[in-house]
Amino acid sequence: MTSAVVFDLDGVLLDSEQVWNEAKEDLVRERGGRWRDEAPQRMMGMSSPEWSAYLRDELGVDLEPDEISDAVVGRLEQIYRERLPLLDGALEAVERLAERWPLGLASSSNREIIDLVLELSGLAPRFEVTLSSEEVARGKPAPDVYLEVARRLAAEPATCVAIEDSANGIKAARAAGMAVIALPNPHYPPGDEELAGADMRIDSLHELTTELVVRAQARRPSSSR
């Protein structure tokens, strides 16, 4: 039986993965670093300390990690205040599921970005728990952020359903023992192997109904509950 639903943010509620990567690439080039084509995939799911260190150590940005994080977050905040790139159906999906279950948010975004997005969208009251992976030991694909959200919701992970878009996000939620509904990111789609780890797949948030959540939970093997 489902006790809670946990959303990812980027790629699930926001069409934002490419916005993050453009901000990071601009910073790398401005600071004389070396951008790599594989960088977006390498950084997906990383917490802000992890990707900031990657930009410094691997891509050659001549700033300390906290300065890198602040610079990228500042760019994102400006963009979001001008136009928040909510995915079609995001508001309705959250409202729909919040009527039945407590909701959590498990995101790789910085805390400042999470709070800003929820404020601008008006969705803050719908989430009982929000957590950034910078607030736990490890980013996705490690399960830390999902496990901590479940703990704060007072819910067993095996009774939670996660909504994820990326390969590392699916891995993280699965490693936490949650059922997973995949909404594949069109810009950085998960591979077939990762998608096979999801219990259900949708192509639009309009498909994310309470009935679908119940079906996803029912597909989990009884041994994992």
Domain total in the chain: 2
The pTM of the full predicted model, rounded to 2 decimals, is 0.89
Are residues 217 and 131 located together in one domain of the fold? yes
Pair 142, 182 in one domain: yes
Among 8, 144, 165, 199, which one carries the catalytic annotation? 8
How far does Cα 193 stand from its chain's mean position? Answer: 19
- Give yes or no: residues 211 and 172 share one domain: yes
In this model, does residue 223 exceed pLDDT 50?
no
Q: What values do phi and psi take at 139, rounded to 5? A: -80, 175
Domain range holding 47? 17-82
For residue 157, what is the domain's CATH number? 3.40.50.1000
Is 15 considered catalytic here?
Answer: no
User: Is the pLDDT assigned to residue 225 strictly greater than 90?
Assistant: no
- Residue ending a domain, choose from 65, 82, 99: 82
Which pLDDT belongs to residue 198?
97
Confidence of residue 188 (pLDDT cuts 50, 70, 90): confident
Secondary structure of residue 130 in the 3-state scheme: strand
**Rounded Cα–Cα distance for residues 187 and 166 (Å):** 10
Name the E strands within the chain: 4-7, 103-107, 129-132, 160-164, 179-182, 200-201
List, for residues 54-83, the tens digit of each pLDDT value. Answer: 999 999 999 999 999 999 999 999 999 999
Average pLDDT over the chain, rounded to an integer = 95
Beta carbons within 10 angstroms of residue 21's beta carbon: 19
Look at residues 52, 82, 112 and tell me which one is the last residue of a structural domain: 82
pLDDT class of 222 with cuts at 50, 70, 90: low
Q: Are residues 100 and 148 in the same domain?
A: yes
